[in-house]
Amino acid sequence: MATVTRLNPALYATGKIYKACLSMSLKRFWLLTMYEKNGMIKPHQFIYKRGKCVVKKSIKIVMLILLLPFLLFAFACGKNPDGKDSKPVDDDPIVKPPVNNCVMYVPSWAFSSQQDLKDYDFSLMTHVNYAFSLVSDRNNPIPILRNQDVNRLAVLRAAIEAQGADTKILVSIGGWSAFPDKHYFCEGAATETARENFANECLRWVEEYGIDGIDIDWEYPGEVGGGCTTCPHCVTDFTLLCGLIKEKIGTDKLLTIAAKATTGEPTRLEGAKLAEILDYVNLMNYDYGTDNHASMSRTTQVAEAWGEVFGNKKIHIGLPFYAHAPDSNDNNDNNDYNWATYADIVGYIESGRNIQVYTVEDESYAILDGIKLSFDTPEQIRKKILYVVENGFGGAMVWESSQDKDNDLLNTIASNLNGDGSYQSAFIPIEGLA
């Protein structure tokens, strides 16, 4: 890289001044010397001390004039023509490829102190979505951040800054359940006044807590989902609410949603209008069914359907870090099987439990005590990330941070999403067996 300093036009004038002052000063000293030799300067005009000449006031002024051009020259060299400091100019600029997003949901129950986050590598996450703020007061249906949520947001920010990461923080509103209450999104979006109150609260968070955006996890507008109230006009109200939130928080802050992963959802919602409002859509490409809850084929079908409406770059593919057991299993409520995390499954293997892991074309799964657990292995994660990159999607979204094992899945994502794919997980399933 070559460093080029662009000189201010005033530098030329400075040089002229310097030359003139130098010439004048030399002439003055020559005349003074000649006058002294010819007896034309009186003795009291020079004071001698220890054999050195101390110049009187008139000579000191000349010396200051002599130094002035040097000061002007130094100042001018440090400025560009527009008055700004000069900077290195790269003759051969390196064009960096765009960074694909890795959005990690970090639930409130996973941490309360920085110590709880010490093993998280935030440098591999472009965004973290703090989950969740609830809309649980029917009489005042605005999102709520409790004191413990505010404290955790501060802890999360401190942990990110301690690692020197540039990870953005969003607050996710909603989620599957507000147990024992409901999510009153419907009421919070139903009227102009309600939407104004809702959006103003989002704006307050952005301004007061310095967060980078808002994520809306309404499950689902106009449909019965995870404990959310619903009504016939929720779809339209959802669009209006998103539009007002975005207007309030501004274009420099993010507004995203977590969306139902079906091919018909972008058209059931007002997808074309939402595409003009939202920055990203986090597809929940999981919970398709407990027998194969994150299949590759369905993930790609859903992503393509949303991409047709929103453009691929606004779509984040959802990745689960947990397993499901079939609904028919009598042990469905046993967390050893249903809802087992990736960390749990690795632990079962390391402890010598009766478990085998397989991967086939459309899915990966484990057989634990004779029961099938559908989950994504590192190899299945790699396949999905390569699909994201090859098809120009915006990135990946993960549910959720505490379910990984030693950042194994996260490293797999980051290495293939924005790296050279060199990371190799030690988790090796039995290839090709069903």
Please report which helix (H) or strand (E) contains residue 317, including its range: strand 315-320
DSSP assignments along 54-101, one per residue = EP-HHHHHHHHHHHHHHHHHHHHHTB-TTSSBP----SS---PPPPPE
Shared domain check, 268 and 155:
yes
Shared domain check, 27 and 168:
no
Shared domain check, 62 and 120:
no
Shared domain check, 167 and 63:
no
Tell me the CATH number at 173.
3.20.20.80
Shared domain check, 138 and 57:
no
Shared domain check, 181 and 126:
yes
Residue 377 near residue 357 (C-beta atoms within 8 A): yes
Region of residue 24 (left: phi > 0; alpha: psi -120 to 50; beta: else): alpha
For residue 210, the enclosing domain spans 101-324+392-424
Shared domain check, 419 and 302:
yes
Tokens matching residue 223? 């449909």
Shared domain check, 155 and 204:
yes
Shared domain check, 142 and 34:
no
Residue 171 lies in a domain: yes
- Tell me the residue ranges of DSSP E strands in 223-292: 254-260, 280-284
Q: Which has the minimum average pLDDT: 76-80, 253-257, 378-382, 384-388? A: 76-80
> Where does residue 2 rank: exposed (0-12), middle (13-18), buried (19+ CB within 10 A)?
exposed
Q: Which of residues 77, 109, 127 is at a domain's end?
A: 77
Residue 87 lies in a domain: no
Residue 347 lies in a domain: no
d(CA 169, CA 147): 17
Residue 342 lies in a domain: no
Shared domain check, 257 and 296:
yes
Total count of domains within the chain: 2
Residue 223 lies in a domain: yes
Residue carrying the six token digits 């099987």: 337
pLDDT tens digit string along 348-400?
A: 999 999 999 998 889 999 999 999 999 999 999 999 999 999 999 999 999 99
Residue 385 lies in a domain: no
Shared domain check, 174 and 35:
no
Residue 269 lies in a domain: yes
> Where does residue 172 rank: exposed (0-12), middle (13-18), buried (19+ CB within 10 A)?
buried
pLDDT tens digit string along 122-170?
A: 999 999 999 999 999 999 999 999 999 999 999 999 999 999 999 999 9
Residue 364 lies in a domain: no
Residue 326 clears pLDDT 70, i.e. is over it? yes
Shared domain check, 310 and 165:
yes
pLDDT tens digit string along 175-189?
A: 997 766 788 999 999
Q: Which of residues 22, 44, 77 is at a domain's end?
A: 77
d(CA 121, CA 383): 22
Residue 247 near residue 203 (C-beta atoms within 8 A): no
Nearest CA-CA partner of 199 in 246, 131, 139: 246
